[in-house]
Amino acid sequence: MKNFFALIALTAAFAPLPSAAVSIDLVPISDPGNTGDTVIGPGGTIIGIFGRVTTSYQIGKFEVTNAQYVDFLNAKAATDPYELYNTLMGVLGDGGIARSGTIGSYTYSVKPSASGAGPNGTDYTYGDKPVNYVSWYDAIRFANWMSNGQGSGSTETGAYTLLGGTTVPSNANSITRNANASWFLPTEDEWYKAAYYNAATTSYFDYPNGSDATPNNNLPSADTGNSANYKIGTVTTTGDSLHPLTPTGAYQSSHSPYGTFDQGGNVAEWNETSGGSGMRVRRGGGWNSTATYLSNATRETLSPAVEYNYTGFRLAAAALPAGVPGDYNSNGVVDAADYVIWRDHLGTSFQLTNEVAGTTPGTVTQEDYTAWRARFGSISSSGAGTAIATSAVPEPSTVVVLMAAILATFTARRRVQV
């Protein structure tokens, strides 16, 4: 028994400690230098050319959730001088975050489930829904916090420099992305490419689920592969304007060619790009939008200070560090955590990072397991320690797998001794 606890202690000693509370799933966006999409409006007027991005980058697979934003608030909003929290989040049914305590000691939590308020009498949960009632400034402060390692990291410097120390900084109209930013809001082109571009055909779809046909607004349980959470006429997807959101990624078959979810519907998303006259761009439409707002032809510009119940955001990140095939979480080493990623996505269209050359991008196959097995223990040429690697939460699956192996070995030895 003494040896058993020694093994547990040894495993714990080498287990990575979580460096941050928020983990964001990212998908790599490839084909840098792609051709832009010329969008034609009514009367043949060119609205703009969108989607051309000259570098590789990553983008959030999902919209930022209430649960993730709660971690941010608890880290940075005990006093909340920048008004990162909107009280409507707690007052209204479509908001998902509660605040308690007094100024200087505020704490935040995901609201309890609303019993029977979900589709077909299910409970309406909040932690897995996209955060709403957030301004553009809230979104870039979240990006700064992520860039600075979360925890006590600054919200005023990092990916963006905010001056003036107020909710709306004094340099509001001139804020741009700083060089070498690791986490950031996607520009309109970065967002557009992830939503509509098909790298296999170097062409663009009209809607962000790989289709030129108008999507239906079925519930996720009736996802046809061309479904989204939005309004047709007066009919919303959930049928309840107080509980209108669907869990991020719930439409499992209705993803973009790159593998992002909900870039059309659920909540419209802030983009980094300036819309002129102090405005910022919003794309994708929300749960109360019509299909027009989900299409590539619609872009909105609005004040970055506004906070609506159908507006949220997703983050983007710098390109992946150079890795080796089998390093599916890009942490610089091929280990048990990469096996878990492969196992969980086998047979799906999930875009693995650092795939073995010659396999079909975006299709997880047995070949990817072979690559992992052959290179187990290999270290990336760039190693760990990049901005991306250090801002992600170490995966507990690694520890679980290793502990299971150690316990199995210990048990086998005990049986032999008996």
pLDDT tens readout for residues 135-157: 999 999 999 999 999 999 999 99
User: Are 123 and 113 contacting, i.e. CB atoms less than 8 angstroms apart?
Assistant: yes
Tokens of 207: 């809607």
Task: Tell me the H-state helices in 104-220.
Answer: 136-147, 188-196
Is residue 342 left, alpha or beta, with left meaning phi > 0 and alpha meaning psi from -120 to 50?
alpha
**Is the confidence at residue 378, as pLDDT, over 80?**
no
Report CA 306 to chain centroid distance, whole Å: 22
The predicted pLDDT at position 391 comes to 33
For residue 370, how many other CB atoms are within 10 A of its CB?
Answer: 14
Average pLDDT over residues 396-403: 44
Average pLDDT over residues 76-105: 98
**DSSP β-bridge partners for residue 391:** none
Mean pLDDT across the chain: 85
The predicted pLDDT at position 363 comes to 76
The maximal CA–CA distance of the chain, rounded, in angstroms, is: 85
> What are the boundaries of each domain within the chain?
2-19+322-417, 20-319
Q: Are strands 37-40 and 46-50 parallel, antiparallel or unpaired?
A: antiparallel
**Is the confidence at residue 239, as pLDDT, over 70?**
yes
Q: What confidence tier does 50 reach under pLDDT thresholds 50, 70, 90?
A: very high
The predicted pLDDT at position 15 comes to 40
**Is the confidence at residue 3, as pLDDT, over 50?**
no
**Is the confidence at residue 400, as pLDDT, over 50?**
no
Domain at 20-319: CATH architecture? Alpha-Beta Complex (3.90)
Dist CA 280 CA 295 (whole Å): 18
388 or 314, higher pLDDT:
314
The predicted pLDDT at position 362 comes to 64
For residue 330, give the amino acid letter: S
For residue 389, give the amino acid letter: A
The predicted pLDDT at position 272 comes to 98
Dist CA 306 CA 161 (whole Å): 20
Tokens of 67: 């649960």
Q: Render pLDDT for 52-66 as a digit per residue (tens, 0 to 9).
A: 999 999 999 999 999
User: Looking at 2-11, 262-271, 321-330, which range is the least confident one?
Assistant: 2-11
Average pLDDT over residues 121-148: 97
Q: What confidence tier does 167 reach under pLDDT thresholds 50, 70, 90?
A: very high
The DSSP secondary-structure symbol of 393 reads: P
Sign of CA dihedral 174, 389, 249, 199: positive
Q: What confidence tier does 380 reach under pLDDT thresholds 50, 70, 90?
A: low
The topology under which CATH files domain 2-19+322-417 is Type 1 dockerin domain (1.10.1330)
Average pLDDT over residues 31-48: 92
The predicted pLDDT at position 367 comes to 81
144 or 416, higher pLDDT:
144
Q: What confidence tier does 88 reach under pLDDT thresholds 50, 70, 90?
A: very high
Strands in 130-258 per DSSP E: 183-184, 197-198, 203-204
Q: Render pLDDT for 314-364 as a digit per residue (tens, 0 to 9).
A: 999 998 666 677 888 776 677 788 888 888 888 877 767 766 544 455 678
The predicted pLDDT at position 364 comes to 84
pTM score of the predicted model: 0.77
The predicted pLDDT at position 323 comes to 67
Dist CA 119 CA 121 (whole Å): 5
User: Are 245 and 94 contacting, i.e. CB atoms less than 8 angstroms apart?
Assistant: yes
- DSSP H or E run through 300: strand 300-302
The predicted pLDDT at position 319 comes to 86
The predicted pLDDT at position 356 comes to 56
**DSSP β-bridge partners for residue 48:** 39
Q: What confidence tier does 365 reach under pLDDT thresholds 50, 70, 90?
A: confident
**Is the confidence at residue 174, as pLDDT, over 60?**
yes
The 10 Å CB-count burial string (b at 16+, else e) for 276-312 is eeebbbbbbbbbbbebebbbbbbbbbbebeebbbbbb
**Is the confidence at residue 374, as pLDDT, over 80?**
no
User: Are 298 and 285 contacting, i.e. CB atoms less than 8 angstroms apart?
Assistant: yes
Q: What confidence tier does 371 reach under pLDDT thresholds 50, 70, 90?
A: confident
User: Looking at 2-6, 144-148, 252-256, 299-303, which range is the least confident one?
Assistant: 2-6
125 Cβ contact list (under 8 Å, min separation 6): 113, 118, 247
